[in-house]
Structure 1
Amino acid sequence: MADIPLPPDRETLAQSLQATGLPAAIVAHLAAQARPALLMPTTAGDEDTIAPGASKLGGRPDLPQGMAWPLRPPYPDAAKRAQYYNRKADDLLENPPSWARARGAEWFSRNYRAKAQAVATDFPLAFFGQFNLAELAQAPGFDPVFPTGGRLLVFYDYWIEPEGFTPEAAVGWRVIWDPSPVAELVRAPVPEALLAISNDRWRCVFPPAPVTTPRSVLTPMPLNDKGWDAFCLDDNAKLSAYDEWFCAFGTPDEKGRDNHQFGGFPQPLQNGLQARSQLAANGLNCGGGAVWNTPEAKVLLQAAGEWRLVVQIGADSHARFADVGAYYVMMREADIAARRFDRARVVYQCG
């Protein structure tokens, strides 16, 4: 089935759902639960023509005067990470894979060595984008749970791509709410350390891609959301009908669609956005199966539904974000209300 656009209002969403054959009461319930959101299309841009503080992906961030480009500190488990990268570097030289020529293996090996050093030192985070909340708030799809002024900036350790399921990974991103007046902003120069590792194979500096006119939509609840209560997921007929309908909207790693979203329900590529955020934020490494059955995890998971999407950043040909996977900025609703954006988690998923 070809991708269909997300509905602009509840009536359109309900009409679309009715075509699945789901009972009217379930359709009404799901339509009522849908959350408003903004899709943020982009276009190719030139840094010199993008207004200070404007919403964009990539490029250079507009920071308040005196604020340095965000650095991450060494990872708390840097020794373990360095050991992993050094082992990968050794393996590439000792047993080059069939897909890599000798020169390619040497390049990748050097890259792994550099990562082994970087995880143990302060290092600048890549700039993913900034979102002008005052402008976005003018659209009907803007959820008032978010601030209606200032900008939200997202920085991420794109070179290392920290996993979303460990507590130690949290140093690998910064989500900043900056309420400074636009007149006080300065477009920051890109750190040399990021320029040095950007090349044809991998880039940590992205071309600027300004957000054009945001589009207001309603986003349906994913089946794996912790708040799901529309029907029992053991009902295979209803499950299949809803899943087929939901999947028809596409995923945020596809070309030719609006992959970036502010607020609303996410379009996840895997399960566990809320649960992994909850466990990792509370100090549990949930990368293995055993932890999920511990008493501590079971208690924590009771509150996993408090996590919700802030921003979804997907594939983008203008900013040259890879068309594999998407990045989800997740926060507890109470932290959003308290403007504690330092407590956000950034989760990368790929299908």
Structure 2
Amino acid sequence: MASLAEAGLSSAAIRQLLPSACPALLLAAEPADEATIPIGATKIGGRPDLPPGMAWPERPPYDDGGALAREALDHAARFHADAGIVPPWMDAEQGAALLAANAQQKADTLAFMKTLDVDGADLDAAFFGFTAKDCAVVAREALAKSAAAATHFPLAFLAQFDLAALALEEGFDPALPRTGRLYLFYDLLLLPPSYAPSSRIGLHVLHDASATEALVRTDIPAALAALTDLNAMLMPARVRTSPAVTIAAPYGTAAPPFALSDEDLSMVQDWLSNVAGWPGDGAAGAHQLGGWPREIQSSMAGTAALAANGIDAGMSDAWKSPEARRLLEDAAAWRLLFQLGPDEPIGNGLPGALNILVRAEDLAAGRFDRAWAVYEQS
């Protein structure tokens, strides 16, 4: 409350915000020799300590795997075209057509920019100078994604949390289980679209109560280990925690019905940025367990509410249907399990945040299979 008052918010606004306050643990991942991390301890990345008999989670092919494969190749093709290089998966005729279309697009763009009296130096800077070496890296990633989308593929291990140990710390979210371990796996390679119902298979969340001595530190599957250079998995890191108090972002789809003035709303946004911070603002709080998510955009919970219930949230009209409106009324029930922020030292080069969300009712009942992943960036 003191920090909200110091931010200049009115007492009326503070009274509205405080009921939504929820503790959370901010997490700093410190790269480590995995051998020094005890079996069963909280950690991010590396090799999970799995319950006896449990295989490393993998997903089946995506229903829209063909579209995901084409998207990966099309993105890489544009990269190659800007470098004037034919992608290795295209024949000569396809490559010539790609380069010609790109050259024409550049010419049209330059002609338009000249009508705006842009000087020559700015025109030269309008296009990137990609090299053959750059293209080779992009081509490898695109081909790996294209192949993985249409086949069974192991999910990346994000983290495991020793809930009994964390429950003793200030900042632990009381809505989380206080015993056992929480395991999170996700398809970091393809980063399936958060808005698509078919993306459910890209996430696996498990709560397990096996004794520590029964756990098995499991080797990384060969198919995943072969892609370490593509940021398809996270490097092992021990976790250092710090407590935080979070509130529901008043501009999000999960926000309670606040009645804030424009001035108070602006101050809350500043408070969220300066006090809680955004994922990736600093190593001390790059990641988060529990609490309210630090939203970059405003539709995170709404996206989860729709996509988890079979509605393609990527279509703007889908948000307007009667069924969507009914589901969005429940958006505030979606809570944060884990937020993975940008963290280059552990191999997470994503510019935005990956958020694992679950409805409060499902969290209380231990239905972690109903969790949903939403990736967002500014």
Does the pair score TM above 0.5?
Answer: yes
The Cα shift of 1:89 comes to: 4.9
| Alignment deviations for residues 154-182 of structure 1 (CA, whole Å, 9 cap, x no partner) | 11111101111110111111111121111
Cα distance in 2, alignment partners of residues 302 and 59 from structure 1: 39
Cα distance in 1, alignment partners of residues 349 and 203 from structure 2: 18
Give the residue type in structure 2 aligned to 1:343: R
The match for 1:185 among 188, 212, 215 is 215
Determine whether 1:275 maps to 2:302: yes
Q: Determine if contact 2:10/2:264 at 8 Å carries over to the other structure.
A: no
Evaluate the alpha carbon distance shift between residue 115 and residue 42 of structure 1 in structure 2; reply closer, same or farther with a 3 A threshold: closer
| Alignment deviations for residues 272-313 of structure 1 (CA, whole Å, 9 cap, x no partner) | 111000000111111121211222211221111111111112
Cα distance in 2, alignment partners of residues 210 and 21 from structure 1: 38
Evaluate the alpha carbon distance shift between residue 227 and residue 205 of structure 1 in structure 2; reply closer, same or farther with a 3 A threshold: closer
The match for 1:31 among 6, 18, 38 is 18
Cα distance in 1, alignment partners of residues 30 and 138 from structure 2: 32
Equivalent position of 2:157 in the other structure: 127
| Alignment deviations for residues 286-343 of structure 1 (CA, whole Å, 9 cap, x no partner) | 1121211222211221111111111112123542322611111100011101101111
Determine whether 1:64 maps to 2:66: no
Equivalent position of 1:9 in the other structure: none
Evaluate the alpha carbon distance shift between residue 116 and residue 266 of structure 1 in structure 2; reply closer, same or farther with a 3 A threshold: same
Q: Determine if contact 2:27/2:284 at 8 Å carries over to the other structure.
A: no
The match for 1:228 among 250, 256, 269 is 256
Q: How does 1:205-216 map onto structure 2 within 5 Å?
A: 205-212=233-240, 214-216=241-243
Cα distance in 1, alignment partners of residues 178 and 331 from structure 2: 26
Give the residue type in structure 1 aligned to 2:30: T
Equivalent position of 1:248 in the other structure: 274
Q: How does 1:1-351 map onto structure 2 within 5 Å?
A: 14-91=1-78, 92=80, 93=86, 94=95, 95=99, 98-199=128-229, 202-212=230-240, 214-225=241-252, 226-232=254-260, 235-249=261-275, 250-322=277-349, 324-351=351-378
Cα distance in 2, alignment partners of residues 255 and 245 from structure 1: 16
Evaluate the alpha carbon distance shift between residue 29 and residue 89 of structure 1 in structure 2; reply closer, same or farther with a 3 A threshold: closer
- Report the secondary structure of 1:331's partner residue: strand
The Cα shift of 1:238 comes to: 1.8
Give the residue type in structure 2 aligned to 1:198: T
Unaligned runs of 5+ in 1: 1-13
- Report the secondary structure of 1:129's partner residue: strand
Cα distance in 1, alignment partners of residues 329 and 299 from structure 2: 13
Cα distance in 1, alignment partners of residues 5 and 74 from structure 2: 54
Q: Determine if contact 1:208/1:318 at 8 Å carries over to the other structure.
A: no
Q: Determine if contact 2:28/2:283 at 8 Å carries over to the other structure.
A: no
Q: Determine if contact 2:31/2:237 at 8 Å carries over to the other structure.
A: yes
Q: Determine if contact 1:261/1:312 at 8 Å carries over to the other structure.
A: yes
Cα distance in 2, alignment partners of residues 241 and 193 from structure 1: 48
- Report the secondary structure of 1:274's partner residue: helix
Cα distance in 1, alignment partners of residues 257 and 36 from structure 2: 47
Q: Determine if contact 2:357/2:373 at 8 Å carries over to the other structure.
A: yes
Q: So what's the TM-score if we normalise by structure 1?
A: 0.89
Cα distance in 2, alignment partners of residues 246 and 207 from structure 1: 29
Unaligned runs of 5+ in 2: 81-85, 87-94, 103-126
- Report the secondary structure of 1:257's partner residue: helix
Q: Determine if contact 1:37/1:218 at 8 Å carries over to the other structure.
A: yes
Cα distance in 1, alignment partners of residues 70 and 173 from structure 2: 44
- Identity across the alignment (%): 38
Evaluate the alpha carbon distance shift between residue 301 and residue 48 of structure 1 in structure 2; reply closer, same or farther with a 3 A threshold: same
Q: Determine if contact 1:255/1:315 at 8 Å carries over to the other structure.
A: no
The Cα shift of 1:75 comes to: 0.4
Cα distance in 2, alignment partners of residues 216 and 239 from structure 1: 24
Cα distance in 1, alignment partners of residues 209 and 336 from structure 2: 21
The Cα shift of 1:99 comes to: 3.5
The alignment yields a C-alpha RMSD, in angstroms, of: 1.9
The Cα shift of 1:87 comes to: 3.7
Evaluate the alpha carbon distance shift between residue 107 and residue 16 of structure 1 in structure 2; reply closer, same or farther with a 3 A threshold: closer
Cα distance in 1, alignment partners of residues 289 and 33 from structure 2: 23
